[in-house]
Amino acid sequence: MNTRRPRVCVAMSGGVDSSVVPILLKKRGYDVIGVTMQIWQESQCDPRHSGCCSLGAVEDARRAARIIGIPHYVVNFKDAFRKTVIEEFIDEYGQGRTPNPCVTCNRDIKFEALLQKATELGCDKLATGHYARVRYDKARDRWRLMRTLGGKKDQSYALYTATQEQLSRLMFPLGELRSKDVTRDLAREAGLAVADKPDSQEICFVAEAGGYREFLKNERPDMFEGGELVSTSGEVIGEHEGTAGFTIGQRRGIGVATGKPQYVISIDPNSKRVVIGDDHDLEQTEVPLSEMLWSGYTPDDMPMRVDAKIRYNMAARRATLVVDPEPKLIFDEPVRAVTPGQIAVAYRGQTVVAGGKIL
């Protein structure tokens, strides 16, 4: 008789969320191991920048695993991270788009490279500290990615790339908790030093002073060749130092004064022109999409009435998702600052329908 307990690999980033995951899984009777990905070489001393890639974060994860009483491993994914997340980040800005590197990291590193490593370590499942849920829909014979029970911390938006096969092996135990406060309380009860560790707010590889613009200047200085600032009517009203320094909807740092608030409306790296205009110029109802990935539903279910969001921190808005002739979201009311390169995700109730990259 096979009595082997299911083994779960927990992705431990060194933060409070992923440190609590193995505690919950051990209580459920799983055989748990912790794995920390080393994906970026820089070490940050400032606790605000001690994200999932700093050397200090690796040590935080190691200490947490020791207290919890589970094996802990560190895997080097620096090359894979550079080839996927960082290179895409640079290329997207070079083409006038604004990428979401966390989504790319989930897709290519956590759900591909790390899941493969979990398999090599004899694990049945991979668990992360994301606030989301996975459920199997027997009637539709599909796995569903769902919002967390604690709605304020929901992270399903950044997880939409998970395939059906990946969802069958993913676990998000924190999705059952009502709030981040509960997570911190559990960490304190276990005696974990990370219980009050601040959440990382920065992109891990551009956390230093200067932010992403300084990072891009070091990587691709050609992105910062000067060009023209033009109005929506085509009038040249100023100059800029490089299209990569702008994103759609930006107001500050444009470099020109017109006597009224002005915003970045569009970016053309080929002509090196940045169009600026009024706030109402940012509004549109139709959002074209590419690289669609389907979760709880399929293209055959379209068109569908959905709740959708075009950035992580916005409230979902009512829309219709269509795929014929091309995928797009048609919002009931105009949405502001639709940004090429960013991600749009559609929901039906608590379930992720699909997501795609904004064109």
Q: Does residue 31 contact residue 147 with C-beta atoms inside 8 Å? A: no
Distance from C-alpha of 11 to C-alpha of 110, rounded to nearest angstrom: 8
Cα–Cα distance list, 99 to 84, 189, 203 (Å): 12, 38, 11
3-state secondary structure of 71: coil
Distance from C-alpha of 77 to C-alpha of 224, rounded to nearest angstrom: 30
Phi, psi of 352 (to 5 degrees): -70, 125
Q: Which helix (H) or strand (E) holds 333?
A: strand 328-336
Q: Does residue 263 contact residue 277 with C-beta atoms inside 8 Å? A: yes
Distance from C-alpha of 223 to C-alpha of 248, rounded to nearest angstrom: 17
Fill in the DSSP letter of residue 173. G
Rg (CA), the chain: 22
Contacts of 261 (CB under 8 A, 6+ apart): 251, 278, 279
**193: which 2 tokens?**
């030093």
Instruction: Name which of 34, 85, 103, 81 is nearest 345 in CA terms.
Output: 103
Q: Which residue matches tokens 């992705």?
A: 11
Residues noted as catalytic: 105, 204
Q: Which helix (H) or strand (E) holds 305?
A: strand 304-309
Distance from C-alpha of 320 to C-alpha of 331, rounded to nearest angstrom: 6
Strand runs (DSSP E) across 122-235, as ranges?
125-127, 132-137, 142-147, 170-171, 227-231
